[in-house]
Amino acid sequence: MDRRWAIAIGTVVLLLAVWNLAFFTVPVWMQAIVVQLGEPVRTIREPGLYFKIPFIQNVQYFDRRLLEYDASPKELLTRDKQQLVVDNYTRWKIVDPLKFFQAVRDEGGAQSRLDDIVYSNLRENFGRQTLIEIVSTRREPLMEEVTRKTDEKARDYGIEVVELRIKRAELAGENKQNVSTHGPRGKRWEKYPAEATGSQKLLGSKRSPGLSQGHPVQGFGFGYPER
């Protein structure tokens, strides 16, 4: 009797082990790639229970939900030679798990690639705009264009860029002392009072309260809420 129980228990344990090795579940918020000897052999987009060959195949899971990448601040140069420190975030998702796996492997690789793409586009577009255009007249069209171009390039990696926003932008280093209502810059504000007012409204919490008295601007933001 004891021997029969031992055999039965051993059989159950073996079946459970085989089940765990041969079957896997894909939740509704995930998608998967079955990899055999390092090469992808099957893409799974729908949730459910699936079979794989034990010891030969393994499964790589990828989140299908909206993901967010908060990039490190970087310096960008405007057309009128103003150096900006720009802090942005990108909301993205994996739309082609096979292409994603082959191109970047995982979310860490995707974030590194997105970082390159985003700042390349920001650098190119900011370099064609003046400071006033960036913080006022061209702000929305500029970000729409950057988002569109970033999404186009990211598709090569199985990624869709849903949203790209600037959280914060500050004048870098000596540029903080150059933006003033005195001198040539002061004349520009007087010449374009509407733009000046709009830009002043967009100035962030580090804005000098004495801007109208000729004190330098300490920083500005684009008015997008932090996420």
**Domain range list for the chain:** 2-63, 67-213
pTM: 0.74
Residue 216 Cα distances to 27, 83, 177, angstroms? 54, 15, 6
Which class is 67-213 in CATH?
Answer: alpha beta
152-172: pLDDT as tens digits: 999 999 999 999 999 888 888
Residue 180 scores a pLDDT above 70: no
- Polymer length of the chain: 227
Query: Could you tell me how far CA 52 lies from the centroid of its own chain?
Result: 33
Residue 181 Cα distances to 25, 129, 184, 191, 203, angstroms? 63, 20, 8, 11, 14
Q: CB within 8 A of 74, min separation 6: which ones? A: 85, 86, 119
User: Which candidate, 163, 179, 31, places its Cα nearest to that of 97?
Assistant: 31
Residue 211 scores a pLDDT above 70: no
Top pLDDT among 109 and 169 is at 109
Residue 218 backbone phi and psi in degrees, to 5: -95, -20
